[in-house]
Amino acid sequence: MKNNKAIKLISNLLNILLFAVLLLMIFVVISSKASGGEPNIFGYQLKSVLSGSMEPTFKTGSIIAINPNFDVNQLEIDDIITYKKDQNTVVTHRITEVLNNAGQLMFRTKGDNNEDSDLNPIMSQNVIGKYTGFTIPFVGYLVQFADSRNGSIAMLIIPGLLLLGYSGLTIWRAISEIEGKTKDKSVQH
């Protein structure tokens, strides 16, 4: 009897876990598609780390959270910022120097793993967020995959199929158990 309760509990937990994974995958795919890139959660943008320039602070393939609602005038040396290097390139590096060039606020940056500072100072209007200190290793690979067409399809279909398969197995077991009890009652009479 205790064995059946334990199996039922594990079964319910697995069902909940699969459903949660499906919901998470749906959220990641929809959020990344809606934002045109990385997802947003509670006002923070999640960015995938695509290079090792900031190791060991965060590893390649990690996901980091940046705050897009910050006061650029409050940024200081050692803050980590995300900025647009050009139209298609977003970089996250540490501020090494704050410059004021004829009233124009600019920042000199450097990747923690780079020997030299970045060539050009970053204009304050190109800064899109400040790193919050929140990092999850390896999830960036998943977000990048979800951003692709095949990844979006796989991220929705695979957990859904797993959930359907597990539900089918659960139903099959329940029917087998009912049939077994019915056979036992007919044998006893």
* Residues with a known catalytic role: 51
Angstrom distance (rounded) from CA 38 to CA 25 = 13
In the numeric block, the tokens 């990690």 are attached to 62
Going 89 to 92 to 94 to 98, the CA torsion angle's sign is: positive
CB atoms within 10 A of CB 117: 15
Nearest to 97, CA basis, from 83, 115, 76: 76
70-73, long-range: CB within 8 Å, 24+ apart, which pairs?
70/129, 70/130, 72/105, 72/124, 72/127, 73/105
Sheet with strand 89-101: strands edge to edge: 40-41, 44-48, 63-67, 127-136, 80-86, 89-101, 104-110, 122-123
Angstrom distance (rounded) from CA 185 to CA 189 = 7
